Chain A
């Protein structure tokens, strides 16, 4: 029986979909069977980031409405033989095409077959959010070091804490620019974590390569040398229960690099 993790943020554009794609890929690399579910019905993106756009035949709404089986709708990512699958969102309907009960049932079904079901949540706190959270056992909140994103994260955490079937949410801080933090122009990690008071799962530095990789349809995790890739892999290992220490922020780049070099040289 697998675990269902919803990846959410409240605010749009902080990197939910990128995070879902990369964590899913990282977990698949680590040998887990992973199914990604895009619940952003009407504005699907996850397929594009993964480079699976052209292979979609059926989608989530088709499954829920009984037009096909789940297995038929799942798109297999051939790069990770049998380890990574995507259940794409429909592009032609909207969020109200699915109810939270249907989502719960669907995720329950996927959990039987996969080790991890990662649910990419749409922005906002309306129906789309409720659908995404309905079947989740755990939640990861993504935020960026901006006051507005942290506000929305706070709101979402409040809503998640009210959901009894979801474990206390954990936090990923995305797009940190260490030089801006150093100059005091950006909220620092400690400040955000203290403010939101939830467990920090990881931090990801701002990296142009993430955008480049997304545009190519290859998650950044596939590039073992990028900072962001290493951060995502570390987060995936923390999800698996390994204790990978967080590097102190000041020496973030150096610390992260040397530590990972060590890891890779060991391999």
Chain B
């Protein structure tokens, strides 16, 4: 048990059984509770589980146990291990999904991570990605990047003639008049004024330097 500026950090033994762990926490905290005056401010507790995996139910149990001693609040629970399912979920959100097809009218293509589409999005078709969207063909339908709230996400297309663009929770639609612009090699991003801007593709490296990073963010 360590005291720091931000509260208590509990380093928990990862070799004993889960029941023993609960027992020990209870004993320690009951003893401790005597030492801390009941009217003192709330103390946040960080738990470090070491190499122990807690199921969500177990986590809840531990939180409840600690909450019983009045002025302790569990701030975070950390563990060196994650379940396979969680790891796969992370991977899914961080990987680039490559799809080679044409997204036609009435079709919706939804991926969790970044989308690399080799093909077109036709009018009435829709692509949605949790991360960025890169389209090697023409974007003539609807594209929504950063689905779920990521405002840093970008949309890039070889031909940028979308019906609608969405990034994070900002949506934008094409002007009602038709232009003769070629709209080749362009990207869309959210600027400081929280508006979707379409500009030359080459600007992306300055606007979103993170795109370059080889190891994907988790």
| Min CB gap A133→B, angstroms | 16
Task: Kindly state whether residue B132 has any CB partner on chain A within 8 Å.
Answer: no
List the A side residues contacting B125 at CB < 8 Å.
154, 158
A197 touches B105 (CB 8 A): no
Beta-carbon contacts of A128-157 to B below 8 Å, as 1s and 0s? 000000000000000000000001101101
Task: Kindly state whether residue B112 has any CB partner on chain A within 8 Å.
Answer: no
| Min CB gap A265→B, angstroms | 42
Beta-carbon contacts of A184-195 to B below 8 Å, as 1s and 0s? 000000000001
10 interchain pairs, CB-CB under 8 A: A151-B105, A151-B123, A154-B123, A155-B105, A155-B106, A155-B124, A158-B105, A158-B106, A197-B119, A197-B120
| Min CB gap A201→B, angstroms | 18
Number of A-B residue pairs having CB atoms within 8 Å of each other in the complex: 30
A197 touches B123 (CB 8 A): no
Assembled-state Cα–Cα distance A151/B163 (Å): 13
Task: Kindly state whether residue B102 has any CB partner on chain A within 8 Å.
Answer: yes
Assembled-state Cα–Cα distance A154/B120 (Å): 12
Assembled-state Cα–Cα distance A197/B121 (Å): 11
Assembled-state Cα–Cα distance A196/B106 (Å): 14
List the A side residues contacting B107 at CB < 8 Å.
158
Interface residue count on the A side (C-beta < 8 Å): 11
Task: Kindly state whether residue B70 has any CB partner on chain A within 8 Å.
Answer: no
| Min CB gap B61→A, angstroms | 47
Task: Kindly state whether residue B52 has any CB partner on chain A within 8 Å.
Answer: no
Assembled-state Cα–Cα distance A196/B104 (Å): 8
Beta-carbon contacts of B74-107 to A below 8 Å, as 1s and 0s? 0000000000000000000000000000101111
User: Would you list which residues of chain B between 97 and 146 have a CB under 8 Å from chain A?
Assistant: 102, 104-107, 119-120, 122-125, 140
User: Would you list which residues of chain A between 87 and 122 have a CB under 8 Å from chain B?
Assistant: none
Assembled-state Cα–Cα distance A144/B200 (Å): 35
| Min CB gap A9→B, angstroms | 13
Could you say which of A154, A159, A161 contacts B124, with CB atoms under 8 Å apart?
Answer: A154
